[in-house]
Chain A
């Protein structure tokens, strides 16, 4: 009796990089950014992070490219670019 695909242990999202579904990729302009944090708050996947006050980026391992961050950014500091692989 073989069990396959029945039980999933925690931590499998580390192996399953769901960012591969993405067709558009957010590109952050750190000069235009005001550091308002809207993109980080709005991201449905929790992918947007920052390394400095205006240094925002998205974790492309998991970012689906939904474009909400770009849509909501009040400073137009995020543009969606076609993902070319």
Chain B
């Protein structure tokens, strides 16, 4: 069992998962988002390759267009 913080909420997971799987678990809309893992942006091409460790902190930022 590992605990992963997603946008400030801690969730337990029974199996290891990568960023892509975490986003799917939380039903996160994927359009226009930047994913931050432990304070560092993970580029989209690396989402599927980035396995999340216990106590990982993931945060999602959405592009805003207004001006």
Are A and B a genuine interacting pair, yes or no?
A: no
Q: Using a CB–CB distance below 8 Å, which chain B residues touch chain A?
A: none
Q: Using a CB–CB distance below 8 Å, which chain A residues touch chain B?
A: none
